[in-house]
Amino acid sequence: MKIRRSNRLVDITRYLLEHPHKLVSLKHFSENYGAAKSSISEDLSIVKKTMAEFGIGKVDTVPGASGGAFFAPRYSKANAERVIADLVELIADPSRLLPGGYVYLSDLLGRPEILREVGQLIATQYIDTDVDVIMTVETKGIPLAQSVAMYLNKPFVIVRNSSHITEGSTVSVNYVSGSSKRIKKMELSRRTLKQGANVVIIDDFLKGGGTMKGMQSLIKEFDAHLVGMNVFAEGQFDGERLVSGVTSLLKVTAGPDDSLTAQAGNFLTQVFTEEGNE
């Protein structure tokens, strides 16, 4: 098959989507398709305009012989509002209410179309932040953490609740569960986190903030840096949370009569106002 511009556009799009947050050289594309770098530059400018037009992501092109292209998923504010409005509708279902003010979310966080949208949404928040690794705690935070990691193209690490032989040597911390006030232990394999790494913590649900605070302690133990904390949903909590500065997509409130109301969390105002994105 002779590789024309139309074929290149398809494969460049695929390649960039599979390698977000990574500078891909013009040389890579040029050699792959047997095309001049000037032609590839024109291809990239088409990809860039299209992605911007549809509110999907930004493509930065670095000019010159050593240049390349850098794709980062970025949802427009309009797309973000649509995703969050859809989620609010999905969540506000009284049958999701569980004892203790918890909310059943596992089905949503096991659905690919939701994970894709939510991953791109949270990745938008860190588009200009230096992130080295995503951290979560087993079990229900994993799908969301993985999805964000995929779109930021950074590894994710899973903090475990107890010692597992298949993790090798670990570092552990004690933490107080904010909801139940019990002292628990969490640990992370020694080889997973590098000193000085910039870490984003992801979890599914925020109540008292105890597990978030535990992960903060672990980050300190590894001499790493916390750069952000995100949850899918925050519930109501009587009293003061153990952490502040958590970004939530949704906020759910259980009523006294087993009702459940949902609304947008602080994501939209955090990401689209403070940081001045359009």
Taking CB under 8 A as the rule, does residue 256 contact a copy of itself?
no
Stretch that binds a copy of itself, among 86-94, 156-164, 170-178, 194-202 (CB under 8 A): 156-164
Phi, psi of 199 (to 5 degrees): -115, 135
When binding is defined by CB under 8 A, the residue of 65, 66, 128, 165 that contacts a copy of itself is 165
Q: Contact letters (x/-) for a copy of itself, 193-232, by CB under 8 A?
A: ------------x---------------------------
Taking CB under 8 A as the rule, does residue 191 contact a copy of itself?
yes
Task: For residue 24, give the amino acid letter.
Answer: V
User: Positive or negative, the Cα torsion across 193, 196, 197, 203?
Assistant: positive
What 3-state class would DSSP assign to 248? strand
**CB 273 → a copy of itself: shortest distance, Å?**
26
Stretch that binds a copy of itself, among 62-70, 100-108, 216-224, 268-276 (CB under 8 A): 100-108
CA 66 from chain centre, in angstroms, equals 30
Which DSSP letter does residue 239 get?
S
Taking CB under 8 A as the rule, does residue 74 contact a copy of itself?
no
Taking CB under 8 A as the rule, does residue 93 contact a copy of itself?
no
Query: Which residue, 11 or 221, is less far from a copy of itself as judged by CB?
Result: 11
User: Distance between CA atoms of 121 and 151, rounded to whole angstroms?
Assistant: 9
Stretch that binds a copy of itself, among 51-59, 170-178, 223-231, 253-261 (CB under 8 A): 51-59
When binding is defined by CB under 8 A, the residue of 102, 172, 184, 253 that contacts a copy of itself is 102
Q: What is the DSSP string of 141-210?
A: THHHHHHHHHHHT--EEEEBSS--GGG-SEEEEEEE-TTT--EEEEEEETTS--TT-EEEEEEEEESS-H
Taking CB under 8 A as the rule, does residue 70 contact a copy of itself?
no
Among 230, 99, 252, 238, CA closest to 178: 238
Helix residue spans in the chain (DSSP H) = 5-18, 26-33, 37-53, 77-91, 112-125, 142-152, 210-221, 267-269
**CB 192 → a copy of itself: shortest distance, Å?**
6
Positions in the binding site for a copy of itself (CB under 8 A)? 1, 3, 5-7, 9-11, 13-14, 17-19, 46-47, 49-51, 53-54, 56, 98-100, 102-107, 110-113, 115-116, 138-140, 142-143, 146-147, 149-150, 153-158, 160, 164-168, 189, 191-192, 205
